[in-house]
Chain A
Amino acid sequence: MNRKAAPEKRKPSTRGGSLMRLRGLVRKEFLQIMRDPSSIAIAFLMPVSLLLLFGYGVSLDAEHVPVAIVVESPSRDTASFTGAFERSKYFDPEHYGAMRAAKQALRDHRVDGIVRLRSDFAQKLQSGATAPIQVILNGVDANTARLVAGYVEGVWTGWLSDRARQQGRTLEMPVEVDQRIWFNSEVRSRNFLVPGLIAVIMTLIGALLTAMVMAREWERGTMEALMVTPVTIREVILGKLIPYFVMGMGGLALSVVMALYLFEVPLRGSLWVLTAASALFLLVALGMGLLISITARTQFVAGQTAIIVTFLPAFLLSGFLFDIQSMPVVVQGITHAIAARYYVAILQTVFLAGDVFPVIWPNALALLVMAAFFLGVSRLKARKRLD
């Protein structure tokens, strides 16, 4: 018998050994990702469906709003006015003979608003005075109500000026508002939703997926077996960070390609700024995921925590869906602790405005601080022990 392969002097933390261990861990992680349908689902399926949902389905623009039109005494003028509604893509008008029926329709949610032309509409119009219309809106969805009010007004002023032009005079308005909207001149909500969504997707991959896979190792007992090998805790952490960093950047590439080519969102800034800022945010997300998985050692708890602490804030408090300026002051204060807030600001700037560094630098700095904080705390809290 050979005497036990000569007890060679082992130095567990030599450079070569460390690289070999890291390579082993990274390769294992990729094999697992490829074989585990739930990882694929979180990393690719969910981003794609979120993008499709928000790109196509969810739109903050109101279109084809059902409105009830009540004309109390029909005439040529009223017909021309309601015609303007029928031609508008924003409305699906429905004619009601009496106000009572229209009100009932509003109550039953069959229509979102009522436009009423009183019996003296034509008469007032003929006499040259302004012809008021009554608009009643369902205010339950405040956002839509506000939009619809604006559209109705638009249709109304449009129709008035058309009519004036036909009669050979110009409509006299005390003040004329010449609106111009910068950065998103078509006011397409898709143009700011899709870039903002990238922040949500990166949070999903960086924090949720990382927290789940670490917790899974605790649950299945693989972590205990890992702990008694010469592997260092730094290698364990890097072995998780590297694969999921790559996954996250893959998710970014996928989202950017879909944004630019499928949803035709403009990219006015440079790709490198986008990539660099994204990498920075991904580190924050990974740091949060790691920290969660170090404290919570079951997949259930880790998943729930990640959703509540990272995913939901990225959704609700990042300014991606809801404007931060219009939040209550206290909530505005809270958003400063949400990493996605800084990233969304950078994303929307880079996509829609360009490389505006006065906006990008402070936000990037905030991300850098947060990345250092979360990764640092994770490193300090991670122990190569079970207690």
Chain B
Amino acid sequence: MAEIPSETESDSTDAKETALILEKVSKSFTQGKRRIEALREVSLKAQKGRVTGLIGPDGAGKTTLMRLSACLLKADAGRIQVLDLNANRNPLKVQSTIGYMPQRFGLYEDLSVQENLDLYADLQGVPQDQRADRNAELMKMTQLGKFTDRLAGRLSGGMKQKLGLACTLIRSPELLILDEPTVGVDPVSRRELWTIVSRLVEEEGMSVLLSTAYLDEAEECDEVVLLHGGRVLGHGPPGDFRKEQKGRTYWVTTTDGARKRDIQEKLSRGEKVVDAVIQGGGVRLVMADSEKPDLEALLDEVGDSERKSVSPRFEDSYIAILKEEEPRPDKAPIQEPKAGQDDGGEGREEAEPVIQVDHIKRKFGDFYAVKDVAFDVGSGEVFGLLGANGAGKTTTFRMLCGLLPVSEGSLKVAGLDLRKAAAKARARIGYMSQKFSLYGNLSVMENLRFFSSAYGLHGKRRRNRIEWALEQFDLADRAEAESGEMPLGYKQRLALACALMHEPEILFLDEPTSGVDPMARREFWRHINGLARAGVTVLVTTHFMEEAEYCDRLAIMVAGEILALGAPREIKDRAAEKAERKIEDIEEAFIALIESQAEEEGDE
């Protein structure tokens, strides 16, 4: 097959400066009867020698865009130019020029680190005499040198990701495409991955296209493309996005000891408020304009408070843009009809803990997924389990819910071991699993009916609860919609509603916000806050470090063990003490604690 590169297809100036051009690219898929428009007339340019970030929630079309650029999919319409190649005509040539790391990088888990690298060196046609040098370079870059003989399946999540990157980089590509390389990875590895990427751009002049769901990573990119619902909502340097919100962002703390969750709740209901979100020890507030009187009036309502002007960040503008895109009604906070306990804020210490975890371990084969984890959760508390993928959060969770027996140790939920306790005890807990376990082909109403009867509700109570759920979670106008067809945010609300049908005292939420866009995440936390206010004990896992601040107390898990336990403030203070510097967010605290632990181990 002779492939004649046609010079006319691209104007040469573009080709010199851009690594990737998309012109009115559309792509749709058919899923059963449905037709999903993944990309609608998307146009964008990614410059050479730069990091271009693709930002957007799940389902925005990020992966489709990347697969199109890697010639793994064929566009329905439009033109894609990768470097100076037309993607439609020269897929094989494109693939031998770029490096692409899919979301789940295909490492051969039963091959060792070195064998994986050798395979990709063979596939990429790296000459034998260059391999040793490149290998050494990559091992140094990824710090995997010590583990070359280890099977890839035995690496931690962060190390796997770095190995995937190394395999992609084995033949220094001109354009590097990374699909959510940092998702679910611990903060330390996340930072390391970013260091590698910036080095590649600076030292090798590589062009990088990278997608992410973490908004703070947008700040690290040279250019940001905001993708939502298959369309580009914005394109430019992150600073350009931020400009809009200049003079409108504040950080509010209270002086009268009110809980930040409550302040956030009050602030978010303000008329001109674009966003109110817990950040550090206070609430970050983004206003629609820079008019002071509105702000003063709002803050008066909250009570004694202090405010500080802060510089805007990318996330502020992102929320502002999304709000404009799909305005959502601000709902009244959730009112749990059965107020089991009054505000659990004070006097919690005296009460018997609702969840007691006493040095539990869980072994799979010869591998400890959870080793020696111990904590208590008091009634009405919001307790968070934080950690990267594979840290042991879900395993701990399953043991608590009685879905998995403990290998050693003991635990009690509401005074009972759920593994042995009768259905009676289970009636007191609600559980929402990572993958919303709804019946996708049943309507919202049918799901609610099913789950309420599964929990033994009937007659008037059942009708009342269903009515309550439809109203509280704003599902009434979607009652007859097929639940599998709804946007993720709706599904998640429905899943929460189903878990709450029987008015549980304790609510288990496993990664409820993973893959959900920031707007839906905010809304979800508002529901959780409401539940906590009504006296429900909430145990929640998450890999978003910033969500730690929503919790009263939390445990940070690393490799099956608890790295830190306590209120967010306490954890930050402890980390600050160890690192001997000021620490303002949990992610920083996490990194500081890991580093000090590594140092201590080094000292021994």
Contacts and interface: CB of A to CB of B under 8 A. Distances in A.
Interface of A: 1, 3-5, 7, 10, 12-13, 17, 20-21, 23-25, 27-28, 31-32, 35-36, 217, 220-232, 384-387
A227 B72 contact: yes
A228 B123 CA distance: 10
Contact of A229 (B74, B95, B172, B203): B95
Residue among A1, A3, A13, A220 facing the most chain B CB atoms (10 A cut-off): A220
A23 B203 contact: no
Nearest to A26: B122
Nearest to A217: B106
B125 A23 contact: no
Interface in B93-134: 93, 95-111, 115, 118-125, 130
Nearest to B122: A24
Interface in B65-94: 67, 70-74, 91-93
30 contacts: A7-B174, A10-B96, A12-B95, A12-B96, A21-B125, A27-B119, A28-B111, A31-B111, A35-B151, A217-B106, A220-B109, A221-B105, A222-B107, A222-B108, A223-B106, A224-B102, A225-B105, A225-B106, A225-B167, A226-B106, A226-B123, A228-B71, A228-B98, A228-B102, A229-B123, A232-B92, A384-B91, A386-B67, A387-B29, A387-B74
A366 B13 CA distance: 60
Contact of A13 (B92, B108, B110, B203): B92
Given A24-B119, A221-B104, A1 B203 contact: yes
Given A1-B203, A221-B104, A225-B105, A23 B72 contact: no
A278 B172 CA distance: 45
A11 to B, nearest CB: 9
Nearest to B179: A224
* B interface bracket (residues with beta carbon within 8 Å of A): 35 or more
Contacts of A222: 106-108
B575 to A, nearest CB: 35
B172 A31 contact: no
B294 interface: no
Nearest to B1: A13
Residue among B70, B100, B106 facing the most chain A CB atoms (10 A cut-off): B106
Residue among B101, B120, B124, B125 facing the most chain A CB atoms (10 A cut-off): B125
B508 to A, nearest CB: 29
A386 B119 contact: no
B196 to A, nearest CB: 16
B205 interface: yes
A230 B96 contact: yes
A230 B151 CA distance: 25
B537 to A, nearest CB: 38
Nearest to B167: A225
Contacts of B93: 12
A230 B206 CA distance: 19
Interface in B173-202: 174
B204 interface: yes
Nearest to B109: A220
Given A20-B122, A24-B123, A221-B104, A31 B110 contact: yes
B120 A229 contact: yes
Given A1-B203, A4-B204, A225-B167, A21 B106 contact: no
A7 B171 CA distance: 11
A17 B125 contact: yes
A230 B111 contact: no
Nearest to A12: B96
A1 B72 CA distance: 33
A17 B121 CA distance: 11
Given A24-B121, A36-B110, A228-B71, 4 more contacts: A12-B125, A35-B110, A220-B109, A384-B71
Nearest to A13: B92
A32 B111 contact: yes
Nearest to A236: B123
Contact of A230 (B110, B124, B204): B124
Contacts of B99: 228
Given A28-B111, A32-B110, A5 B172 contact: yes
Contacts of B71: 228, 384-385
A230 B106 CA distance: 16
A344 B379 CA distance: 71
Contacts of A3: 205
Nearest to B168: A225
A4 to B, nearest CB: 5
Nearest to A228: B100
A299 to B, nearest CB: 14
Nearest to A222: B106
Contacts of B103: 221
A385 B174 contact: no
A226 to B, nearest CB: 7
A32 B108 contact: yes
Contacts of B151: 35
B106 A20 contact: no
Contacts of B73: 385-387
A384 B109 CA distance: 23
A230 B92 contact: yes
Contacts of A230: 92, 95-96, 123-125
A25 B104 contact: no
A31 B151 CA distance: 12
Interface string B457-469: 0000000000000
Nearest to B103: A221
B19 to A, nearest CB: 13
A12 B67 CA distance: 20
Nearest to B170: A229
A127 to B, nearest CB: 80
A24 B99 CA distance: 18
A216 to B, nearest CB: 10
A3 to B, nearest CB: 8
B70 A228 contact: yes
Contacts of A229: 95-96, 120, 123-124
A209 to B, nearest CB: 15
B593 to A, nearest CB: 32
B180 to A, nearest CB: 13
Nearest to B100: A228
